[in-house]
Amino acid sequence: MLLKYIVSNFKSIGHSVEFSMIPTENNTDKRFLTKLETKYGDIDVLRRGAFFGPNASGKSTFVESIQFAKEYIVDGQKSGKSTRVPQFKGNLDGVEEISLFQFVFYMDKNVFEYGFTLTPKRVSEEWLMVRAKEGFVPMFTRATDENGVTDIDIETRFGRKNSKDRQLSDILKSSMKENQKNQLFLYKLKENGIKKAEKIVGWFENIQAIFPNTKIQWLPIRVKEDEDFRKFLSESLSKLDTGVSKISAYGAEINFQEFAEKMNLPKELVADIENKESGLISLNGRYFIFFENRNRTSLIQVKFEHALNNKIVSFNIDDESDGTQRLLDILPILFQMDKKNNAIYFIDEIDRSLHTKLSKYILKTFAEKSKDLLNQIIFTAHDVNLINLRDFTKEEIWFIEKNNMGETSLKPFSDFKINDNQDIIKDYLNGRFGAIPVIGGDA
């Protein structure tokens, strides 16, 4: 589970902003908490987090920073390339060319801290720490000085000196050369089979970021091959009054070249598809996924059945409403929780194209399903009706806004004192908590 995240110098985020899933109040409603057992005592952690703020305030940027950090950790970088970090473009005192990504998280009864800093050309610092009786202690640290010399210290907590993992780690440490300055040492350790590094990277692999334009490429295959998943989606879409009574998928193997000619696909698209092992395409209102299977291409089409005037009518996904398509992005999360996975979901604009009742249903169901799991959901939204203290605790809500320098900042709702009879939504719209649009001409 995520306990804390700090980021700086990423797009509209200039100075560091800190987000925490650890409650600061002792009277936080226990319905929203998970108690974690660690080697040095129990800690309470929130299962949900919410960001509210105006358009262009940096909500998407916050989620994008998580996605960027995850991909940098999990996928690694090619030697000799730049770090590709999109930094703050304005001039701010105290914000130089270094970007920070720092995570505090729980795994296997331990609390870890992993972080790294990037310049446009290289990793400047990197560290992995673990919580001990005396506080956080290092497992390894890395720093690059002003002359470009990289030094890595590996501690016995990461591996005993005579162990195979430690010996291999020392070899990898000495192999960090000039053209590898943009690579993370953690990724290099994981890539070479160091067990501790594999587990840490595995935690980051469980982070999933979902944006409004995200298309889940495995969805058609899953619908076709997993009866339980297909049944879950059908029942959920029917229950949520989308008009869909059943979802199904049909597949067939065909020769891709023949398919491309029949569909009159542009040559550029054909060339792009041929260079990939798998992908997703939507053609003429039909939704397909292709993947190589014994030198042939399988195309799977998802269908949605509606009961219209006592007649069953099938629709393609592009015929469905934006709300139904958005539900298909999010409902798989609730299905996966039944499988007791321990994922952390970041959803940008969870309320996009959804009625308030649907958004509330998803968030309430997540809270109920995650009661005995290690799942978390952190989302951004515009729907002010979600800001209520019947379904949420103050600790879960954060306000995000930009200052006159174009810099994003965060404020936890728990910083504000309120009384039981206060109209929270009215106060928010009146600007008491900030994080609302300022429209020209407003008094």
Residue entry with tokens 């162990």: 163
pLDDT (tens digit, 9 = 90+) per residue, 61-88? 999 999 999 999 999 988 878 899 999 9
Helical H segments across 41-163, by residue range: 59-75
As given in the structure block, the two tokens for residue 13 are 């985020």
Positive or negative: CA dihedral 85, 90, 95, 97: positive
Q: Is the pLDDT of residue 367 over 70?
A: yes
Any residues with CB less than 8 A from the CB of 185 and at least 6 apart, and which?
A: 123, 126, 140, 142, 152, 172, 173, 176
Give 371 or 199, the one with higher predicted confidence.
Answer: 199
Q: Is the pLDDT of residue 154 over 70?
A: yes
**Mean pLDDT of all residues in 396-421:** 90
Residue entry with tokens 């995200």: 214
**Mean pLDDT of all residues in 94-106:** 94
**Mean pLDDT of all residues in 131-135:** 92
Q: Is the pLDDT of residue 15 over 80?
A: yes
Give 217 or 343, the one with higher predicted confidence.
Answer: 343
The pLDDT confidence band at residue 50, using thresholds 50, 70 and 90, is very high
Phi-psi region of 200 (alpha: psi -120 to 50; beta: other; left: phi over 0): alpha
Residue entry with tokens 């076709």: 224
Q: State the Cα–Cα distance between residues 152 and 228, nearest whole angstrom.
A: 48
> Domains, the chain, ranges and CATH?
1-206+342-443 (3.40.50), 219-325 (no CATH)
Residue 122: closest CA among 141, 102, 149: 149
What pLDDT sits at residue 435? Answer: 78
Angle of helix 256-263 versus helix 267-274 axis, rounded to 10: 160
pLDDT (tens digit, 9 = 90+) per residue, 289-305? 666 654 556 777 889 99
**Mean pLDDT of all residues in 428-436:** 81
The span from the first CA to the last CA of the chain, in angstroms, equals 44
**Mean pLDDT of all residues in 5-25:** 95
Any residues with CB less than 8 A from the CB of 51 and at least 6 apart, and which?
A: 59, 62, 378, 379, 380, 381, 398, 399, 400, 410
**Mean pLDDT of all residues in 225-245:** 94
What pLDDT sits at residue 443? Answer: 47
Q: What φ, ψ does residue 98 adopt, rounded to 5°?
A: -105, 130
The pLDDT confidence band at residue 349, using thresholds 50, 70 and 90, is very high
Phi-psi region of 243 (alpha: psi -120 to 50; beta: other; left: phi over 0): left
What pLDDT sits at residue 187? Answer: 96
pLDDT (tens digit, 9 = 90+) per residue, 255-312? 777 878 887 888 887 787 777 766 666 665 555 666 665 455 677 788 999 988 889 9
What pLDDT sits at residue 224? Answer: 87
Any residues with CB less than 8 A from the CB of 379 and at least 6 apart, and which?
A: 48, 49, 50, 51, 345, 346, 347, 348, 350, 363
